[in-house]
């Protein structure tokens, strides 16, 4: 059986900038991976070419085929999750298996009030 | 008043378009086995030609993945109107290590002058293959001439929306003609329409065979 999962405590997916979070990562693979990486990443989406950045990586070397780990970390203070019509910035937590690059991803919000900043359209004069 | 669609939910966001793979004309019996067989017959030296936004880069990228699966080492280099300089660093890095198991993929060959094209071709001559994209034929035997059509555009729209779209067949044809067959630019126009909430999936097919 093949399974990768990230379980955030309290099932929350929206957080304040710089908030401490706790999660459980789980994996069950038909082979012993070289390593696993838990990443906090941002990416852009919209009309332009996507950009991506990795803000945090926790590496688990020589993991067993099946296991789980607790993760505790402080989320980045910036940039905030935001969306306009042309571009969005999206934060996500990723669990990546190396060297196969199989992965599991769950999107989160990092912004004041734990709410994505919405860029409003300005009416033309 | 329609609701504005945030960029991350826009079905025509660039990231989603980049995930589309090259569409073969399967009704004409075309597909990867045929293309790879033809490439082998051309000794892995060939060109993918077509106008702007016709899928040349997509086909070249997909080809690179398949060649890697077949055991080749792939060396891609990309040129465009903003990046037209001779790829001297790329050539310097690989030319002394090329063997028959290496294939160079040059995207945007039309950016190289006649002199620089022959210079590049000479400097990577030890590679097992060289596949280029270009707007016009002539520099290497043509492997595929990427053609677009309103039907192709309609299929891509359906893939991006995950269902039949709200766009009528005639609107797709007008969109295709307005952009002179440049599918990439047609999809970019749809991005703007989707952002305004004017393009959305429907339950029942409304158009095209």
pLDDT tens by residue, B34-46: 999 999 999 999 9
Cα separation of B108 and B78, whole Å? 6
Calculate the dihedral angle through the C-alpha atoms of A77, A121, B16, A37, rounding to the nearest 10 degrees. 0
Determine which of A51, A83, A85 to mutate to test the interface with B (most B C-beta atoms within 10 Å).
Answer: A85
pLDDT for B4: 82
Residue B25 has pLDDT above 90, yes or no: no
CB contacts of A84 in chain B (<8 Å) are 6-7
Cα separation of A93 and A15, whole Å? 13
Is the pTM for the entire model greater than 0.90? no
Instruction: With CB atoms and an 8 Å threshold, state whether B8 touches A88.
Output: yes
Q: Give B121 to chain A, closest Cα distance, Å.
A: 30
When pLDDT is cut at 50, 70 and 90, the band that residue A78 belongs to is very high
Cα separation of B99 and B113, whole Å? 26
Instruction: Look up residue A32 and give its DSSP letter.
Output: -
CB contacts of A48 in chain B (<8 Å) are 14
Cα separation of A101 and A115, whole Å? 31
Place of tokens 């016009």: B136
CB contacts of B196 in chain A (<8 Å) are 85
Q: Which of A90, A86, A79, A85 is nearest to A112 (CA)?
A: A79
When pLDDT is cut at 50, 70 and 90, the band that residue B203 belongs to is very low
Q: How many CB pairs under 8 A join A and B?
A: 45
């Amino acid at each position: 059986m093949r399974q990768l999962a990230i379980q955030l405590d309290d099932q929350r997916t929206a957080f304040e900038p710089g908030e401490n979070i706790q999660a459980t990562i789980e994996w069950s693979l038909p082979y012993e991976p070289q390593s696993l990486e838990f990443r906090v990443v941002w990416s852009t989406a919209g009309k332009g070419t996507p950009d991506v950045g990795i803000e945090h990586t926790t590496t688990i070397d020589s993991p067993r085929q099946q296991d789980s780990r607790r993760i505790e970390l402080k989320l980045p203070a910036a940039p905030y999750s935001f969306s306009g019509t042309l571009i969005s910035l999206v934060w996500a937590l990723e669990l990546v298996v190396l060297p196969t690059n199989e992965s599991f991803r769950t999107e989160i919000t990092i912004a004041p009030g734990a709410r994505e900043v919405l860029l409003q359209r300005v009416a033309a004069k | 008043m329609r609701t504005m669609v945030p960029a991350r939910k826009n079905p025509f966001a660039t990231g989603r378009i980049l995930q589309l793979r090259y569409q073969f004309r399967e009704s004409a019996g075309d597909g990867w086995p045929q293309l790879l067989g033809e490439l082998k017959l051309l000794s892995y030296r060939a060109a993918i030609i077509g106008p702007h936004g016709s899928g040349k880069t997509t086909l070249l990228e997909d080809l690179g993945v398949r060649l890697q699966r077949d055991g080749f080492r792939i060396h891609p280099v990309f040129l465009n109107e903003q990046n037209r300089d001779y790829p001297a660093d790329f050539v310097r890095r690989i030319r002394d290590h090329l063997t028959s198991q290496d294939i160079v993929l040059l995207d945007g060959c039309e950016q190289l002058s006649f002199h620089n094209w022959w210079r590049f071709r000479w400097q990577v001559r030890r590679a097992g293959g060289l596949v280029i994209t270009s707007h016009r034929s002539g520099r290497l035997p043509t492997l595929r001439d990427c053609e677009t059509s309103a039907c192709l555009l309609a299929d891509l729209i359906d893939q991006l929306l995950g269902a039949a779209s709200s766009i009528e067949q005639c609107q797709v044809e007008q969109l295709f003609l307005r952009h002179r067959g440049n599918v990439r630019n047609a999809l970019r126009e749809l991005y703007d329409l989707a952002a305004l909430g004017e393009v959305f999936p429907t339950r029942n097919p409304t158009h095209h065979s």
